[in-house]
Amino acid sequence: MSSLLHFSGHQHFRHRLVLSILSGRHVRVDKIRSDDKNPGLRDFEISLLRLLEKVTNGTVIEISVTGTAILLKPGIISGGAVTHDCPLSRSIGYFLEPVAMLAPFAKTPMQLTLRGITTDENDLSVDLFRTVTLSHLQLFGISDGLELRIKKRGAPPEGGGEAQFLCPIVKQVKTLNFVEPGKVKRIRGVAHAVRVNPQFSNRMIESSRSILNRYIPDIYLYSDVYKGDESGKSPGYALSLLAETTTSAIYCSEAISKAGVAPEDIGLEAARGLMAEVNLGGCVDRKHQILVLLMMVLGSEDVGRCRMSEPTPRTIQFLRDIKQFFGTSFKIVPAEHGSTQLLYSCYGTGYVNANRTLA
């Protein structure tokens, strides 16, 4: 049957699991923090495995006694209504990302409710996921009924947030041909402040506008208010910004509250992060390289092209893993002479959602 793929190290754990489930190949990961003082899988990784077991049918996960090695025999992606409590060590974004890659190929539309921290500094916050990641999925024809509902906000460390992810299923994703980055035409943003003075969000917006206002007039920064039970268990605030271009490429950035930092500085940090992203250019920002590349590989047997900035280390490893799982490699050439942007093109594998039921 499908041959076993072998990896070592705890890094890139998520996308290896995702690729395994999509391609149906068995995966063995060992030496997971074997040299660490606290060896083995962390609680969030275990939680992720549990989540994947919930959204699939027939998945067999074997974890070694020490927890430093796992064997994954993937089943089929079943989807449906699933509820999962995320640990407080990672935010909801950590779990949403792999699920977003799997959900379009499930048997039934996914309705996933996740509880935990909605915004932290490591993973995409629910705001960015809703505004940016989902629009990247829409590039591939995954659009009808695609939604993320932020029921409750939950700031670290206590969390208490809740988000519901609704994703339709598709037969096959569309081939992407996205080479014109265009120019930034609008900037949007969401500022939220929970269990702190609601003025904080206005202060963040003010300060970030001081940078952004010089470029274009079409700037709307919303202040998203959550009260009472909906505002989670811990105080916190954050600002997420996104810039959309004429060809609807999206760049985004985010800054969240830190101890001893004024909201104004958070606003400035977010705005400067956005400027840095805009400067890098391309059609897809760095946070979504992996998602876009994966969907390009899974497209029909045609050439997909996308222009992006240089790959991040994660992306590089992802490209290598893709080669192992799907046997597909990308052609990566500079988009233009002298440009730092690269043109990624690949021949789709013609991946068809085999889980989908007929009639």
Partner 1 sequence: MDDRPHKAHRPAQSGAKAEKKDKGKGKEKQKGFNEKAFAPKSGRRADRQGRRKVEQDQTRLHVPLVNRTPDDEPPPVIVAIVGPPGVGKTTLLKSLVRRYAKQTLNDAKGPITVVSGKKRRLTFIECNNDLNSMIDIGKIADLVLLMIDGSFGFEMETFEFLNILQSHGFPKVIGILTHLDLIKKAATLRDTKKALKKRFWTEIYQGAKLFYLSGVLNGRYPDTEIMNLSRFISVMKFRPLVFRNTHSYLLADRLEDLTPREQVRTSQGKCDRTVTVYGYVRGTNLRMGTRVHIPGVGDLSMKSVTVLGDPCPMPDADSEKRRKLSEKKKLIIHAPMSDVGGVMYDKDAVWVNVPGSFTRGNTDVPQGEGEQMVMDLQDVGSTLEDAVAKSQIRLFGSSSKNLTVDTNMDDEEDDDEDDLDLDSQEGSDHEDSGIESDSQEGEDGEDDEDRAQDPRSTGRSSHRSGARTLPSSSKKQRTDIEYAESDSDLGDEDEDRDVGGRRVRFGEDEDHDIPSDEDVEDDEEEEGDDDEAVPRWKRNLADRAQTSLASSRKSRRKDWTKLIYATDLTPEEILRDTDREASDAKDAMDMDEEDFFQIKSRADNGEEVLDRSKEVWSAEELKKWEDEEMLESIRHLFITGEDNPGGGDGDDGEGGASGDEEEGGDSEADAADDDASPADPEAARAAALAAKKEALKRKFDEQYDDPEASKLDFYEEKKDEMARQLALNRAEFEGIDAEARALVEGYRPGQYVRIELADVPCELIANFDPTYPIVVGGLLPAEERFGFVQVRIKRHRWYARTLKNNDPLILSLGWRRFQTVPIYSLDDHSIRMRMLKYTPEHMHCYATFYGPVALPNTGFCAFNSLSGETPGFRVSATGVVLNIDRSVKIVKKIKLTGVPYKIFKNTAFIKDMFNSALEVVKFEGANIRTVSGIRGQIKKALPKPDGAFRATFEDKVLKSDIIFLRAWYSVQPRKFYNPVTSLLLSDKANWTGMRLTGQVRREEGLKTPLNVNSTYKRIERPARRFNPLVVPKKLQASLPYASKPKLMVPQRAPTYLQKRAVVLEPEEKKAVALLQQIRALRKDQVARRKEKKDEKRAERQKKLAKEEAIRSEKDKEKRKEYMRVAGQKSKRAAEIEEGGGRGKRRKT
Using CB under 8 A, which residues numbered 286 to 325 contact partner 1? 286-287, 290, 300-303, 305, 310-317, 319-320, 323
Cis peptide before 181 (omega within 30 of 0): no
Which amino acid is present at 331?
K
| Dist. CA 331–CA 48, nearest whole Å | 32
Q: By CB under 8 A, name the one of 63, 166, 262, 275 that touches partner 1.
A: 275
Which pair of tokens denotes residue 48? 């992720």
Does 43 bind partner 1 (CB under 8 A)? Our answer is: no
In angstroms, what is the minimal distance from the CB of 200 to partner 1? 20
Residue number with CB closer to partner 1 (113 or 312)? 312
SS (HEC) of 262-326:
CHHHHHHHHHHHHHHHHHHCCCECHHHHHHHHHHHHCCCCCEEEEEECCCCHHHHHHHHHHHHHH
Using CB under 8 A, which residues numbered 164 to 193 contact partner 1? 175, 177, 180-181, 183-185
In angstroms, what is the minimal distance from the CB of 332 to partner 1? 4
Does 215 bind partner 1 (CB under 8 A)? Our answer is: yes
| Residue 230 DSSP SS3 | helix
- The span from the first CA to the last CA of the chain, in angstroms, equals 29
**Binding region for partner 1 (CB under 8 A) out of 134-142, 145-153, 156-164, 282-290:** 282-290
| Dist. CA 290–CA 187, nearest whole Å | 24
- How many Cα atoms occupy the beta-carbon half-sphere of 205 within 13 Å? 18
| Dist. CA 32–CA 53, nearest whole Å | 20
Residue number with CB closer to partner 1 (97 or 162)? 97
Q: By CB under 8 A, name the one of 7, 12, 101, 205 that touches partner 1.
A: 12
Using CB under 8 A, which residues numbered 115 to 154 contact partner 1? 121-124
| Dist. CA 318–CA 299, nearest whole Å | 17
Residue number with CB closer to partner 1 (24 or 235)? 24
Using CB under 8 A, which residues numbered 95 to 114 contact partner 1? 97, 107
Using CB under 8 A, which residues numbered 232 to 251 contact partner 1? 246
Contact 252, 277 (CB under 8 A): yes
Residue number with CB closer to partner 1 (228 or 357)? 357
**Binding region for partner 1 (CB under 8 A) out of 134-142, 158-166, 220-228, 267-275:** 267-275
**Binding region for partner 1 (CB under 8 A) out of 22-30, 110-118, 138-146, 193-201:** 22-30
Using CB under 8 A, which residues numbered 330 to 359 contact partner 1? 330-342, 345-347, 349-352, 354-359
